[in-house]
Amino acid sequence: MIKRNNLAAMTTLLKQAYPKAHCSLVHRDPFQLLAATILSAQCTDERVNRVTPALFKKYPGPAEMAAAPIKDLEALVRSTGFYRNKALSLKEASKAIVDGFGGRVPRAMEELLTLRGVARKTANVVLGSAYGIAAGVVVDTHVKRLALRMGLTRQTDPVKIERDLMQVLPKKDWIWFAHALVTHGRAVCAARKPLCGSCPLNRLCPKKGL
């Protein structure tokens, strides 16, 4: 595991590079963020942001989406991949929100995890970016890859990676840190060809150049 003084230095450099790192999924409320995050599974945020305007124009809230014909939802989200499963998740999660939570997206991890299509990553995105609640650390493909590359974990399971990150990061940084790693992974630390020469973490990264 990385030394805490190295992690503190990395965090400082990341804050200098990405002080306003935030969720890139376009949304206007917690429900729209939940729906967009469900759609983002194995799909880019850019693609999701091209799909959601038409989806939310027709079905702006959980009541409308719960009543939507499944075939219509499938057609609207088709380009995000795995569209049948995602459409069903949107419809069933919306119904559960209406029936079990008074039409409001829950603010607790345990309650969010009862919704179809919601695992810890999605729940953490909603809690952190919609409600400002630091219940954990979002671990998506970028965070998983960079956490391993930066020596923040030796785990490959997202739940275990999240546990490691929660142990070494101050809780006040949990929400921001994940967004910063996602931004850094897209802009600099690419999977196939990381731009180590222009990386602000170059001198601290244990796997620079790999």
Convert 38-62 to b/e letters by CB count within 10 Å (16 or more is b): bbbbebebeebbebbeebbeebebb
DSSP state of 63: H
* Residue 140 designated active-site: yes
The C-alpha atoms of residue 208 and residue 122 are separated, in whole angstroms, by 30
Tokens of 168: 């070494």
Phi, psi angles (nearest 5°) of residue 209:
85, -5
Tokens of 67: 């009543």
* Long-range contact pairs involving 85-91 (C-beta distance under 8 Å, separation at least 24): 85/117, 86/38, 86/39, 86/41, 86/117, 88/116, 89/38, 89/116, 89/117, 89/118, 90/35, 90/38, 90/39, 90/65, 90/117, 91/65, 91/66
Residues 45, 86, 140, 164: which is the catalytic one?
Answer: 140
> Shortest CA distance to 191 belongs to which of 141, 151, 157?
141
Residues 86, 91, 121, 144: which is the catalytic one?
Answer: 121
User: Could you list the active site residues?
Assistant: 121, 140
